Structures are given as C-alpha cells and as structure tokens.
Structure 1
Amino acid sequence: MFCCCAEPPAAEVVGEVKLRDPGHEETFHEGGFVKTERASQPEDLEPSQETSTFEVKVNGAHGIQIDGSDPECTIVRKVNEDGMVAKWNTSAPENKIVKEGDRVLEVNGTQGSSIEMAKILRQEGPFTLLLQKPQEKVVALRRPGELGVVLNYQKAGANAQGSISPWIAKINGGLLGSWNIQNPEEAVSVHDRIRAVNGISGTPEEIMAAIRDSKDLVKMRVHHYGFL
C-alpha cells in the first residue's frame, strides 16, 4: 500500500480569517470555501534563491502524508516510520532529511496543485521528490493597528485532517506590510505558514486564538517558502 494522506479539494474545506486590531471582531466563515483573491499567479510560484531545494529518490511506499489545504503550496505533514522516506532519512545529511513543513515542489518531474500532487503520490513507485526547506523567520508586530493579513486554514473534520497551521492568503498593508518594508531580511509573503505566536503552537485554532489574545506584541514564528 502506498501511503499518501491528501486533503479533500480546497473548494470544500477552507475557512478564512481576517485579522484586525483587537477592537474589531474577527470574521470567521465556517463550512464551505471562502473565495479570496488569488494570493499569487502561477508564474510567481517558483521558490526564491533564499530557500534551499533537495531531491529524494525512493522505491516502494514513500510513507509521507501531506497537507494540501493550500492548493498552491503542498506541505509535508508527517513522515511515517515504516515508509521509504523514513529509511532515506536515516542516512541522509541533515539538509536532506525530510521533515514536517517541507514543501513538495515536484513528484516524478511533475508540478501541479496539491490535489494533483496527491494523485501522483498515490501511484506506485519509484518516486523522485523535489522538496524545499522553509526558511524560518520571526516577525514581531506591535499593536495598536490592523495586522493587515488574511489567514486561511482547513478545519479538521470527519474527512479531513485539517491544516497543520494557518497560511497567509493575502497581505493588505497594515502592520505586516510595514514590517516587510522595514525588515526586508525577515519579510514574509503569501503561502507562508504561521507555526507559533508568542511561543504558542498547536492547532490552527490555537494559533489564531494566540493572535487574538495578544494585546501588544504579536511575535510570529513563520515558515517562509520564498514566493515572489
């Protein structure tokens, strides 16, 4: 059996959260897909030079599970201990060990949406995976003021595992837009994942709550994938 846990089509599962100043009420759209403006165009999806890519070749059941809640950025959710990728990890150098949060760029030379990637990963091997290591960045925003960001994530349900973390769908200026201008080395972009806020990690809901509960400093640990 070839293990690839893919998410249902994004059109069925994505919820949107618009983050504003604590004086405003966040807007949650439950149930169904919330249509937002495209975070980027297809020609913008190549990783920048500041992020590293590596290739993994395995035969047989690869044993990776993916988070496909962002249809344009497929992320490794888990590496199963009994899969061939886990075996690869035992002898790979540190910079080529497959970990949660790595991005899947290609499978057997094919690029595509998260759904298309999942279909290929369900096929029989061998597999050649082109993966990308995220660059970890720390963003520190001080209120008052609107954060200026739209975060999307997939809620866990009977037929979906849910997102491992929220991802940036749009930056609308605000505090985050100003941060990017003032701190180009630590700038973040669409499709980046928010992994922790003020030291709090966990489910997307827990991360969102940490942002809402932050009255002054909002310190975010972000996985950056170099989208232009």
Structure 2
Amino acid sequence: MAGAWNSSSDASLQIRPFDRIIRVNGISGSSRDLAQILLEKHDQFSIAFMRPEERMVDLAKSTDLGILVKYKRGSLGFWIDNITDGEVQKWNTEYPDAAVSPHDRVVAVNGDSGSGAELLSNMRNKEILQFKVMHYPAA
C-alpha cells in the first residue's frame, strides 16, 4: 500500500521510515486500535501520519543517562520509555529546543545504526555518545 502511494505522490507527501500513523478514517487511538481499523474491509482509507523531527543529542556518559529504553527484536534502534535524573534530563534542560521525550526513537548511536540490542551493547564502553533521535511532537 505504501509503495503504491509513494510511486504516485509528490516527494513531500510520501510515507517515510519512522512516520507514525495517528488517525485512520478520522479516528485516533492506540496503535493496536488503528491497526484493527486497517484490518477491516474498507473501500478506501484516510490515514494521517506524524512525521518525526531528526535530532542529534550529544551526551557525556559521566553519570547515569537517566533513560529507560525498550526495543523489539528485529526493529531498528530503541525507544525512550521514561526519562529520569541523568544526562538526558540535563541535555533537555540545557537545550530545550532539541529536547527528547518519552516515545522518541533512537535510531543510531555514534553514527552506527542497528537493532536496539546492538546499539545498547555498543554503548556500554563509550564515554561520549551521540544519539540520532526521531522526535515526535506531542499530539
């Protein structure tokens, strides 16, 4: 479905990796609810997407990063589940226009992309971290 749309649409309207579905046929809901609507038989769908903003976040791992992360096997990167006291919260205070939030997705660390497990493993012995983050504004 996305391939057919992209091949016939202007580049600015094409569906991109990390775009998030926020409404289907005018209905908002959880990802599970929206997936259920997409599985139903319809002649036509109206789908609204949220496009993330790419942010680069530079952190010195002198103390705890202060993030709880989650990932799914086979997915690119990991997402931030919660932010507590630590380097990420300091970044957010110092750079509010480049702040990261829960539900943002980290897709690369120090220029390397990979699965969530790979990124977390590669972070263990690094003192300087640069996250490439897909930031989703509040809906």
Whether these two folds match at TM > 0.5 is: yes
* Residue aligning to 1:108: 25
Q: How many pairs does the alignment contain?
A: 138
Q: Deviations over 1:6-62 (max 9, x none)?
A: xxxxxxxxxxxxxxxxxxxxxxxxxxxxxxxxxxxxxxxxxxxxxxxxxxxxxxxxx
Q: Which amino acid aligns with 2:110?
A: N
Q: Which runs of 5 or more residues in structure 1 are unaligned?
A: 1-82, 157-161
Q: C-alpha displacement at 1:112, in angstroms?
A: 1.1
CA contact (8 A) 2:108 2:119 kept: yes
Query: What is the rounded CA distance, in whole Å, between the counterparts of 1:141 and 1:200 in structure 2?
Result: 15
**Which 4+ stretches in 1 moved above 6 angstroms?**
none
Instruction: Give the 5 Å matches for 1:4-43.
Output: none
Q: Alignment partner of 1:196: what SS? A: strand
* Residue aligning to 2:95: 183
Q: C-alpha displacement at 1:139, in angstroms?
A: 0.3
* Residue aligning to 1:133: 51
Q: Does 1:220 align with 2:138?
A: no
Q: Give the TM-score normalised by the residue count of structure 2.
A: 0.92
Q: Which amino acid aligns with 2:51?
A: K
Of residues 74, 98, 105, the one that matches 2:15 is 98
Query: What is the rounded CA distance, in whole Å, between the counterparts of 2:138 and 2:61 in structure 1?
Result: 27
Q: Which amino acid aligns with 1:200?
A: D
Q: Alignment partner of 1:173: what SS? A: coil
% identical aligned pairs: 35
Query: What is the rounded CA distance, in whole Å, between the counterparts of 2:124 and 2:35 in structure 1?
Result: 33
Q: Which runs of 5 or more residues in structure 2 are unaligned?
A: none
Q: Which amino acid aligns with 1:103?
A: R
Of residues 186, 196, 200, the one that matches 2:108 is 196
Query: What is the rounded CA distance, in whole Å, between the counterparts of 1:129 and 1:227 in structure 2?
Result: 18
Q: Deviations over 1:158-194 (max 9, x none)?
A: xxxx533311111002110000110112111010000
* Residue aligning to 2:76: 164
Query: What is the rounded CA distance, in whole Å, between the counterparts of 1:135 and 1:163 in structure 2?
Result: 19
Instruction: Give the 5 Å matches for 1:28-107.
Output: 83=1, 85-107=2-24
Q: Alignment partner of 2:124: what SS? A: helix
Q: Which amino acid aligns with 1:207?
A: L
Query: What is the rounded CA distance, in whole Å, between the counterparts of 1:201 and 1:213 in structure 2?
Result: 17
RMSD of aligned C-alpha atoms? 1.5
- Identify, as 1 or 2, the structure richer in helix: 2
CA contact (8 A) 1:153 1:204 kept: yes
Query: What is the rounded CA distance, in whole Å, between the counterparts of 1:163 and 1:119 in structure 2?
Result: 21
Q: Does 1:118 align with 2:26?
A: no
Q: Does 1:153 align with 2:71?
A: yes
Q: C-alpha displacement at 1:86, in angstroms?
A: 1.4
Q: Which amino acid aligns with 1:129?
A: I
